[in-house]
Chain A
Amino acid sequence: MSEALYYKTIGELNGLMDSGEISSVELMQSVVDRTQSVEERVCAFNSFDAEGALAQAAESDKRRAAGETRGPLDGIPVGIKDVLAVKDQPLTCSSKILADFISPYDATCIQNLKQAGAILWGRLNMDEFAMGSSTENSSTKTTSNPWNLDCVPGGSSGGSAAAVAAGEAIVSLGSDTGGSIRQPASHCGIVGLKPTYGRVSRYGLAAFASSLDQVGPMGRNVADVAHLLQAISGHDRRDSTSFKIDVPDFAAAIESFPGKQWTFGLPKEYFENAESAASLKAVEEAIEFYKGLGCAFKEISLPHTEYAVATYYIVATAEASSNLARYDGIRYTRRAESFDGKDSVDIYHQSRAEGFGEEVKRRVILGTYVLSSGYYDAYYLKAQKARTLIRQDFENAFAEVDAILAPTSPNPAFKKGALTEDPLSMYLSDIYTISANLAGIPGMSLPCGYSDGLPVGLQILGKPFHETDLLSIGHTFEAAHEYSREHPDL
């Protein structure tokens, strides 16, 4: 295999490091060099510390030499979305209001990665506070899609997806509130998995919408994603919504597809009006692949699909308006220089006016409105009830099928600037991903082809806490195709 180190799989890299052919320092240096050569075009990172990463790699090499290596992630560079707290590193959420913030502690998933020996590598760009579908709502820079630099990488975890696709990280962490892992993974031709709500601790994840947010892994192949998911999963007493449930062996589970008679559901609401969706052809070819393996298919109905976007934009903005109240210019954010000295509340008004970007202001105002006196029942309570109906749609479907197959996004990556003036159209492009967050179920996007040279993702939705199903279904497709070995021409 002649592939560069920065495009190898975690399995291959472990083989090379175990046999002494390469060191983690050499691997890290390869990723640093690659980043320095392509980052000017891709713009995936808000910041990185090459020296610090190389020092972590040297520690990993020492452990390996002493026979104390900590598992498959030891010595592997993992890119971190700039929404997760890493002690003594910046945490900006790509927002001006947090431009000077240095994390005083580690998120639980970061502690877990440190225990696994992973190299924490860089802070990856995102839509400000994870609000967006294109990473254009970042106050720091606009990330490019490595497959076509004129296009967006998707969002909100656009930096996490672009860095992995471009070889600037081996794997990365993202967060997914309405599709923010799966949609950019789809647009950048990589694998992205949103775990079941409660599978991964949210402690140390800057909150957007607490009942929807979930941290998850992104990588160039299913096995890499399984390794990363393994390291971050599990109950955490610091997150009361994390679930006390056993964590299976995800890496082993990817081989468990054969020997089971699978039944897959195709939601008619996702396919019936999708003729114009450019992603459809590649997704239908993937469906044919599974039919060829003898899997059963059933048309299912998720009758409340058409209400999902409306429900989501009430629940998510309401929770965001509450969560983002903490960014007040008083305790730990940038404080506006000028405010009405007679009115201390004006510090809030001015600091938030200066510190928040347009989309964040829009959503905080919408969320404040739907929670305000006289509107709570009409909007927020109504949306919570609609959420129940959407959740029940999936419960009914999963009584009949093992998993649901669908496109991740109606279309591949769009041109930069194409939707920035029209927030509602941008919101509607999340139609296939947001229901999984409302229902709390796991979902994965897997590369399944191209449309006009841009990657297309197949989305696999599973039963709660059945991430193993998604991984094994995805791995079977991946192993029969070359997509995980195809990289953008940079």
Chain B
Amino acid sequence: MSDTPHIDIEKVANLARIALTEEEKATFSSQLDSILGYIDKLNELDTSNVEPTAHPHSVENVWRDDQAESELPTSEALKNAPKERQNMVVVPKVVE
């Protein structure tokens, strides 16, 4: 492992949309560097001729009839919204 941290914690936390405290940034940086140091073990493997696995048993082209069905009514679907009005989720103003 090199001495420079693997992770730019500010950048990744922003991508992950999680506000971290200074303490969390320090703890996670050091813990994630040790985890990434361990993960670097995979570089020992020659995978140049190996196909990646996305799913253990590949199922291809799962089709169904294109028919509309009645699923959740809007009121049910919005039941858990933190703020809701007139069948819509309320958010702060996003355009000027």
Instruction: Spell out A's residues near B (CB within 8 Å).
Output: 100-102, 104-105, 196-198, 211, 237, 240-241, 243, 304, 306-307, 309-311, 313-314, 321, 325, 328-335, 341, 344-350, 352-353, 356, 358, 361-362, 364-366, 368-369, 372, 379, 381-389, 391, 423-424, 427, 438-441, 464
Contact = CB atoms under 8 A, between A and B. Distances in A.
A393 to B, nearest CB: 12
B35 A424 contact: yes
Contacts of A328: 17
B91 A347 contact: yes
Interface in B37-55: 38-39, 41-45, 47, 50-55
A352 to B, nearest CB: 5
B79 interface: yes
Contact of B19 (A196, A349, A423): A349
Contact of A100 (B34, B80, B92): B80
Contacts of A311: 42
A176 B79 CA distance: 29
A369 B72 CA distance: 35
Given A330-B91, A356-B18, A379-B39, A388 B50 contact: yes
B46 to A, nearest CB: 10
A104 B79 contact: yes
B56 A365 contact: no
A-B complex: 8 closest residue pairs judged by Cβ atoms: A440-B56, A384-B52, A332-B80, A385-B47, A335-B82, A348-B17, A349-B19, A353-B19
A366 B35 contact: yes
Q: DSSP majority for the A interface?
A: helix
A47 to B, nearest CB: 16
B16 A365 contact: yes
A427 B37 CA distance: 14
A467 B2 CA distance: 46
A197 B38 CA distance: 27
24 contacts: A100-B80, A104-B80, A198-B57, A211-B55, A307-B45, A310-B41, A310-B42, A311-B42, A353-B18, A356-B18, A358-B24, A361-B24, A365-B12, A369-B32, A379-B39, A385-B50, A385-B51, A385-B53, A386-B42, A388-B50, A423-B31, A423-B35, A424-B31, A424-B34
B38 to A, nearest CB: 6
B67 to A, nearest CB: 12
B59 A368 contact: no
A385 B62 CA distance: 24
Contact of A331 (B32, B47, B50, B81): B81
Contact of B12 (A304, A356, A369, A381): A369
A364 B12 CA distance: 10
B85 interface: no
Given A237-B64, A335-B83, A306 B18 contact: no
B43 to A, nearest CB: 8
Nearest to B92: A344
Contacts of A440: 55-57
Main secondary structure of the interface of B (DSSP, over half): loop
A333 B82 contact: yes
A104 B76 contact: yes
A141 B57 CA distance: 37
Contacts of A361: 18, 20, 24, 28
A228 B20 CA distance: 42
A330 B94 CA distance: 13
A118 B31 CA distance: 44
A483 B38 CA distance: 38
Given A104-B79, A310-B39, A325-B17, 4 more contacts: A197-B57, A240-B59, A388-B50, A441-B56
Contacts of B26: none
A161 B20 CA distance: 33
A283 B55 CA distance: 31
B18 A329 contact: no
B50 A389 contact: yes
A2 to B, nearest CB: 46
Query: Residue among B44, B59, B81, B82 with the most chain A CB within 10 A?
Result: B82
B15 interface: yes
Nearest to B95: A344
Contacts of B50: 385, 388-389
B18 A365 contact: yes
A243 B59 contact: yes
B51 A388 contact: yes
A384 B53 contact: yes
Contacts of B76: 104-105
A136 to B, nearest CB: 16
